[in-house]
A and B are shown apart, each in its own frame.
Chain A
């Protein structure tokens, strides 16, 4: 018979759960509001969501770093805090993108916002735990909500995207469970720190089985992080989803995935399990390069941005492979800078979204759509160009500093070859970003009165784009304080 376990409320340390609970309660609250009074306007739900996220952010920042709680499955270390901050800030920037001037029917459902908050809670669980089962629960909560959000866009392409993502996600979930099972079989635990201890004590005896486990994990996370060769869903899903959601997907699920990858591969790399590093090295180089080359031949700006975000993810995965404190800090710095730039770029596409496809029967945002934008809508063209230059890594715009720091981390860890590969990839990527700039600035406008670019524009959207552009240009002044904070958090959690 099992011994009865007595658990006191103090040892549960429920405050570690507070941030996720706030998001979940907020989501439920939105559903309740809908039950009480039907047909409230979306502006109410948008603002409610922002407020919930704001309170959530407060709870996250107020947390004690280094705490464990709730049967010790929750782990509030620096990584958890900082990644939750990124997730919440990105979410707060995303929600107001629902306030378009054209009516899109998904935003009229309160369920959209409830699901969105559940998804945020899922991502928060993912990053704030080192228990493989809780990570899995978080991952699936978030993913299921995300599939639904994509499908709510209610076009054929959106359904296709949702199904595609769902199937791939299910496969990834299967891989993840297999990987977790092997880890459990090897060590008798699902807690990563215990797995690390047991494996180390055993001197990594069952290397082959460990390799299989790592391979499963890598495939699972590869799907989530859209690493080549598990990236095939990405462009189609981004294309099917609304541009704003695609921008969100390119940032938030990935940061959650990075944190999980950091936790799982981190201890293996630190323990000098050489082939984990080698496999990751290969995956990083292939992801960066192939995604870049595929982005070169795209005809649609959104698909180009999808491939470019795969390439950026590869760039950042390199930081996990390097595994030094500087590299891990660089990852967060890069991703925070990427957040504003990429979300801004996708928001620019979102502003120009049309209900009917007037430019191309296949694509929503072909390059031709942006021909001669400078003479029709100079401010929009300049802002879009800023985002593109930043993505290409032209100094002093935001992503340059991320690239600089990741490359410096590579150099400092004696990966000069990797740094050169990164440099070459940046040069390749400049071509497709420039292509859009060329269309906007150097081509003559096609028949077009300019309304197409501001079809969806509203004050909140313009504010968000302006805010992103501002941060993109003046990132140089934010890098230092950010870097110090990030490094402190990352160091505190021992990475």
Chain B
């Protein structure tokens, strides 16, 4: 199938449009079937993907605005493939566990549109197409947070929208400058990301453009000090909103970093390693401490999310295959684990309508199955070996160890701090005696919840024990990316920092 990527992008959107016709009673089944088909399509993409070929596959090009060089240009490589699968997977699992009754039809249609934008961002190879989906993803999320959220939902939704919107407009200016520079160099207008990769720019241009792209992406990640929208968005969003936000939408930022500024401006990126690393460290340590101080379970997980995103950024800016591949793997791992954690909080919130840890205690007695899964996921979040996060975190930090030992050791505290706040959360809520009367009669997981959560547990453990089928293709693409950056870099410093593979260095 030549147009599988276009099908992947438009299938949920068309299904969403048709969903307006489906009756209210059947909409849940409809949404589930659509998400399942989309997931199967993405699996098909995975199986027909050639893991040994590092470049873009399933490429599609069609002119959109030819006189301005804007094309419908799609393609996947090892870096984007698994994030696409993650998006469709999380949407499906989220829909299985969906417990919302109010305006279910609107919710499912918004989710399907959101799925289109998520897949669109990860398959786009034209900067403007990328930007379209990037911005469009804000609209359904605004609605999901704003319509089904908590008391401050409108404030949270608008804050979420405006932060990202403002940042991405700066990125848009960067894109326009980049297109203009490309035009000056070649005489042709192009917004093609792969064409832009080939453009070698002088260092000062690189620096400013890097900054423009980085600000836009960093707000989405969210990097310190632009992170303040995230706790609000998570705090107010309904469960499904948090799940998708944490699992997929945040990854757009880190994925964008690997796709756009790094290969485009390798010298500036190397030049900026230290400032970015310092910001990441602040993210990692500071938000971990903030997470410990929270009383609300969901806020703990929201801040832990920021902390983990810090590790991802750090790994990305290690600029070597281990670091970048590790950070991409951690994106997947964090997607699965944080998605599961938000879902778990949603389970207890549905039953008690509170997320305060002080309200709970001894839940392990009342809800053993729930406590088991929560236990596994807490361990996964901490980065226990044989879970998915361990692989990603280890590789990211190992990659950055080559850049700076001290900083890596400092970043390593994230694992300790993570253990502190996650285990505290677990201890406060699950161990001890059941003190609160309201908790005595709580029902354990129902079928839908078990199904969704056990699937996530399965993936967590599978990817932790045997990461090769996923890590292999990622590594192939990342290695070619890094050797490309190495070739492209113009300053000596950058050439030295960006090393294609470790073995090569030792052989010399």
Per-residue contact bits, chain B 111-137, to A (CB 8 Å; 1 contact, 0 not): 000000000000000001001100110
Query: Which B residues lie within 8 Å of A487 (CB)?
Result: 67
Establish whether residues B65 and A480, one from each chain, have CB atoms under 8 Å apart when the complex forms: yes
What's the nearest-Cβ distance from chain A to residue B64, in Å?
A: 6
Stretch binding the partner chain, chosen from B77-85, B170-178, B295-303, B318-326: B170-178
- Candidates A434, A442, A477, A483; contact of B67 at CB < 8 Å: A483
* Chain B CB within 8 A of A396 CB: yes
Per-residue contact bits, chain A 410-426, to B (CB 8 Å; 1 contact, 0 not): 01100010011001101
Query: Which A residues lie within 8 Å of B64 (CB)?
Result: 476-477, 480
Stretch binding the partner chain, chosen from B154-162, B353-361, B480-488: B154-162
Stretch binding the partner chain, chosen from A56-64, A173-181, A401-409: A401-409
Establish whether residues B68 and A426, one from each chain, have CB atoms under 8 Å apart when the complex forms: no
The closest CB in chain B to the CB of A416 belongs to B177
What's the nearest-Cβ distance from chain B to residue A196, in Å?
A: 30
Query: Which A residues lie within 8 Å of B173 (CB)?
Result: 407, 411, 416, 419-420, 423
In angstroms, Cα B143 to Cα A441, docked, is 7
Establish whether residues A431 and B131, one from each chain, have CB atoms under 8 Å apart when the complex forms: no
What's the nearest-Cβ distance from chain B to residue A49, in Å?
A: 35
Establish whether residues B180 and A408, one from each chain, have CB atoms under 8 Å apart when the complex forms: yes
The closest CB in chain B to the CB of A427 belongs to B166
Establish whether residues B65 and A479, one from each chain, have CB atoms under 8 Å apart when the complex forms: yes
- Candidates A395, A431, A438; contact of B146 at CB < 8 Å: A438
In angstroms, Cα B70 to Cα A405, docked, is 12
In angstroms, Cα B158 to Cα A476, docked, is 27
What's the nearest-Cβ distance from chain B to residue A230, in Å?
A: 28
Q: A411-B173, A419-B173, A430-B161 are in contact. Are A441 and B147 (CB under 8 A)?
A: yes
In angstroms, Cα B180 to Cα A442, docked, is 40
What's the nearest-Cβ distance from chain A to residue B67, in Å?
A: 6
The closest CB in chain B to the CB of A393 belongs to B169
* Chain A CB within 8 A of B458 CB: no
Query: Chain B contact residues: over half helix, strand or loop, or mixed?
Result: helix
- Candidates A392, A411, A442, A477; contact of B154 at CB < 8 Å: A442
In angstroms, Cα B147 to Cα A437, docked, is 11
In angstroms, Cα B157 to Cα A420, docked, is 25
Per-residue contact bits, chain A 372-413, to B (CB 8 Å; 1 contact, 0 not): 001100000000000001001011100001001101100110
In angstroms, Cα B103 to Cα A375, docked, is 9
Establish whether residues A394 and B170, one from each chain, have CB atoms under 8 Å apart when the complex forms: no
- Candidates B103, B132, B139, B157; contact of A389 at CB < 8 Å: B139
In angstroms, Cα B177 to Cα A374, docked, is 39
- Candidates B136, B154, B162, B170; contact of A423 at CB < 8 Å: B170
Q: A407-B172, A483-B68 are in contact. Are A396 and B136 (CB under 8 A)?
A: yes
In angstroms, Cα B147 to Cα A231, docked, is 37
* Chain B CB within 8 A of A11 CB: no
- Candidates A408, A426, A434, A479; contact of B176 at CB < 8 Å: A408
Per-residue contact bits, chain B 461-489, to A (CB 8 Å; 1 contact, 0 not): 00000000000000000000000000000
What's the nearest-Cβ distance from chain A to residue B155, in Å?
A: 10
Query: Which A residues lie within 8 Å of B183 (CB)?
Result: 412
In angstroms, Cα B179 to Cα A408, docked, is 9
* Chain B CB within 8 A of A43 CB: no
Interface centre among A426, A430, A483 (most CB of B within 10 A): A430
Establish whether residues A427 and B165, one from each chain, have CB atoms under 8 Å apart when the complex forms: yes
* Chain A CB within 8 A of B447 CB: no
What's the nearest-Cβ distance from chain B to residue A284, in Å?
A: 16
How many residues of chain A get a CB closer than 8 Å to chain B's CBs?
A: 36
* Chain B CB within 8 A of A101 CB: no
What's the nearest-Cβ distance from chain B to residue A383, in Å?
A: 14
In angstroms, Cα B157 to Cα A442, docked, is 10
Establish whether residues B132 and A395, one from each chain, have CB atoms under 8 Å apart when the complex forms: yes
Q: A395-B135, A395-B136, A438-B146 are in contact. Are A407 and B157 (CB under 8 A)?
A: no
Query: Which B residues lie within 8 Å of A484 (CB)?
Result: 67
The closest CB in chain B to the CB of A385 belongs to B139
Query: Which A residues lie within 8 Å of B176 (CB)?
Result: 404, 407-408, 411, 419
Query: Which B residues lie within 8 Å of A411 (CB)?
Result: 173, 176-177, 180
Residues 467-483 of A contacting B (Cβ, < 8 Å): 476-477, 479-480, 483
The closest CB in chain A to the CB of B132 belongs to A395
What's the nearest-Cβ distance from chain A to residue B469, in Å?
A: 36
Query: Which B residues lie within 8 Å of A420 (CB)?
Result: 170, 173
The closest CB in chain B to the CB of A375 belongs to B103
In angstroms, Cα B158 to Cα A434, docked, is 8
The closest CB in chain A to the CB of B167 belongs to A427
- Candidates B146, B162, B172; contact of A430 at CB < 8 Å: B162
Establish whether residues A404 and B161, one from each chain, have CB atoms under 8 Å apart when the complex forms: no
Residues 72-121 of B contacting A (Cβ, < 8 Å): 103, 106
In angstroms, Cα B344 to Cα A439, docked, is 32
In angstroms, Cα B143 to Cα A375, docked, is 13
What's the nearest-Cβ distance from chain A to residue B324, in Å?
A: 29
* Chain A CB within 8 A of B499 CB: no
23 chain-A/chain-B pairs, Cβ below 8 angstroms? A392-B165, A394-B135, A394-B138, A394-B139, A395-B132, A395-B136, A407-B173, A408-B68, A408-B176, A408-B180, A411-B176, A423-B170, A427-B162, A427-B166, A434-B142, A434-B162, A437-B142, A442-B146, A476-B65, A479-B65, A479-B68, A480-B66, A480-B67
Q: What 3 pairs across the A-B complex have the smallest Cβ distances?
A: A427-B166, A423-B169, A442-B146
Q: Which B residues contact A (CB, under 8 angstroms)?
A: 63-68, 103, 106, 128, 131-132, 135-136, 138-139, 142-143, 146-147, 153-154, 157-158, 161-162, 165-166, 169-170, 172-173, 176-177, 179-180, 183
Please give 10 more A-B residue pairs, beta carbons under 8 A apart, in addition to A407-B172, A407-B173, A424-B166. A389-B139, A394-B165, A395-B128, A411-B180, A412-B180, A423-B173, A430-B162, A431-B158, A434-B158, A480-B66
